[in-house]
Structure 1
Amino acid sequence: MNDVETLVGAWLSVPEIADALGLPHRTVRRMIDDGELLAARVGPNEAISVPAAFVRDGELLPALGGTITVLRDAHLTSEEALRWLFTPDDTLPVVGSPITMLQLGRKAEVRKRASELAW
């Protein structure tokens, strides 16, 4: 098990996330391939999976897409971006990690910090 797999904790396979979002599997795979959705190979079979924290009420977190774009603009790989999103940060205004902030709808601070990664 790699550190990102442990850090994220709960994962959804491509079929599981497709079902959760009501999308065809090929659409989810295209989103991953196009860099619109972060994924990693996890588990004993190294299946491509997406963090379960990205989904709420049958939809992707509203601020996720723009945040991924900022992280990509900072030239982070998928693994680096996942590590950054899920690593606890004591300097945030709420207890948790950047993904916690996104789940609370507080994208401005997360994107500001993500854009600083490019410098």
Structure 2
Amino acid sequence: MRHQVYGDYRTEEASHRGETLKLVDVRKIPTCSDVLEPDEPTMNIPDAAERIGVAVTRVHALLQEGKLIAVLRDDIPQVPERFFEGDEVARFVPGVLALLADGGYSKEETLEWLFAEDESLPGRPVDALHGHLAREVMRRAQAMAL
């Protein structure tokens, strides 16, 4: 049996009754392209799970439910550290991700918007989600989704 990895897919070639079969195993962890700045801190899934005190499968569920977004950095799913506050997912992160997803924004577009400097806030929307401007970020996300 021969294994090959192609991005999110792993293929296996096997022989069965003289025929070559190609089996495809799709990763269960949803990720998107890494559109973050190279110096933006991220953490792998096990570290994220440890930080918020849950099983790795719970972080997988948060990713599948769209309450978190992971980027594929060095072929490893990574979650931006700014999505966390202390030992939990920052309060407004799941909501803003849902608003933008419902508005048709891709995961990449969502990350680009959240991590881009915005002089009118001031700063980045993802940073404002941790302070008194969180509701303003939510309002803007809702307006953008219309």
* Residues 1:70 and 1:8: Cα distance change in structure 2 (over 3 Å): farther
Residue of structure 2 in register with 1:31 after alignment: 62
Residue of structure 2 in register with 1:58 after alignment: 87
Amino acid in the other structure paired with 2:70: A
What TM-score do the two structures reach when normalised by structure 1?
Answer: 0.86
Give the gaps of 5 or more residues in structure 2.
1-32
Distance 2:93 2:132 in 1: 10
Tell me if the contact between 1:70 and 1:114 (Cα under 8 Å) persists in the aligned partners: yes
* Residues 1:67 and 1:8: Cα distance change in structure 2 (over 3 Å): farther
What TM-score do the two structures reach when normalised by structure 2?
Answer: 0.71
Larger Cα Rg: Structure 1 or Structure 2?
A: 2
Structure 1 runs (4+) deviating above 3 angstroms are none
- Alignment counterpart, residue 139 of structure 2, candidates 103, 112, 115: 112
* Residues 1:4 and 1:59: Cα distance change in structure 2 (over 3 Å): same
Distance 1:103 1:7 in 2: 22
- Alignment counterpart, residue 98 of structure 2, candidates 61, 69, 91: 69
Q: Which has the higher strand share?
A: 2
- What's the % identity of the aligned pairs? 28
Residue of structure 1 in register with 2:40 after alignment: 9
Give the gaps of 5 or more residues in structure 1.
none
Deviation of 1:15 after TM superposition, in Å, equals: 0.5
Amino acid in the other structure paired with 2:96: T
